[in-house]
Amino acid sequence: MTEQTGQQTQPEEFETILAQVGDGVGTITINRPDKRNALSKTVLAEISRILDVWEENEAVRAVIFTGAGEKAFVAGADISQLANYDLTYGLAAHMQRLYDRIQDYPKPTLAALNGVAMGGGLELAMSCDIRIAAENAKMGLPETTLGVLPGAGGTQRLSRLVGTGRAVEMILTSRILIAEQAERYGLVTAVVPGAELMATAAETIAAILTKGPLAIRLAKLVIAQGAETDQKTGLLLERLAQTLLYTTEDKAEGADAFLGKRTPEFRGR
């Protein structure tokens, strides 16, 4: 994969995504606008492949997901493939496992919802650390309309983000939210004009990348794991993570830079 600092480059081997790197950020664009960026097996495989590459690439410090065009982030799974799904495919849980990996990815992730985010598309966004939506975005989990349920983390992540009552109502009725409703529910953190979406996403990631990388990684881990346990255990995880950070060069640099009124130069050590 070619790479140029400050510019964006695209690996030629991908068929359904654009994978670009610039200014420390890897951007994955689902590139099937004629299918409203629907998720196929190929899309999932290519996302997984580029995440493998970027996890080992120190030049990529964060990842943004978005969709091609102005109408759809990801409209959901490719329904033309749904008819072929069976018991074996369901148990394999390819999409669910990929989204679990994105949630646990060691680098910050952000979903820039440039349009419709339905089913597996919203589940992809929910697996990211942060979600920002364009004003025209709409989102929901309409799987029950097809006689199935949100099976890529939707039944679990939605309730953790918006509360059980709202999650049950949304999933059982296949309710679709407009961007402002999603922000009010806490499903997205900000709504901006479509023309400003990617700039806002870049600004948000840029702010994160000025912070201590080890602190960011451990904060992600403690927040995620703490949400799955009782508060006492979560506080223990927090205390242990903080104790570990006290031993790092980043902590020393952060304190020294603050006292010296200069910008810290973190190295992730």
Q: Are residues 104 and 146 in the same domain?
A: yes
Residue 266 lies in a domain: no
Which of 194, 209, 224 is the last residue before a domain boundary? 209
Cβ-contact 22, 64 below 8 angstroms: no
Which CATH number do you get for residue 173? 3.90.226.10
Q: How far apart are CA 246 and CA 262, in angstroms?
A: 20
Q: Identify the active-site residue in 3, 70, 123, 203.
A: 123
What is the predicted pLDDT for the residue at 149?
87
Predicted pLDDT at 2: 38
**215-262 pLDDT, tens digit each:** 999 999 999 998 889 999 999 999 999 999 999 999 888 888 899 998
How many structural domains is the chain composed of?
Answer: 2
Looking at the structure, tell me whether residues 230 and 142 fall in a common domain: no
Q: Is residue 11 part of a domain?
A: no
Report yes or no on 148 lying in a domain. yes
Q: For residue 229, what are the domain limits?
A: 213-259
In this structure, are 220 and 176 located in the same domain?
A: no
Asked whether residue 78 falls in the same domain as residue 167, the answer is yes
- Domain check: are 112 and 159 in the same one? yes
Q: Is 56 a catalytic residue?
A: no
Residues across the chain: 269
What is the pLDDT at residue 90? 64
- Same domain, yes or no, for 123 and 159? yes
- Contact between 238 and 226 under an 8 Å Cβ cutoff? The reply is yes
User: Is residue 224 located within the same domain as residue 128?
Assistant: no
Do 44 and 103 reside in the same domain of the chain?
Answer: yes
46 is catalytic: no
DSSP annotation string for 139-188: EE--GGGGT---TTTHHHHHHHHH-HHHHHHHHHHT-EEEHHHHHHHTSS
Spans in the chain with pLDDT lower than 70: 1-12, 78-83, 86-93
Instruction: Identify whether residues 90 and 106 lie together within a single domain.
Output: yes
- Out of 143, 180, 196, 203, the active site residue is 143
Q: Are residues 172 and 189 in the same domain?
A: yes
Whether residues 155 and 240 share a domain: the answer is no
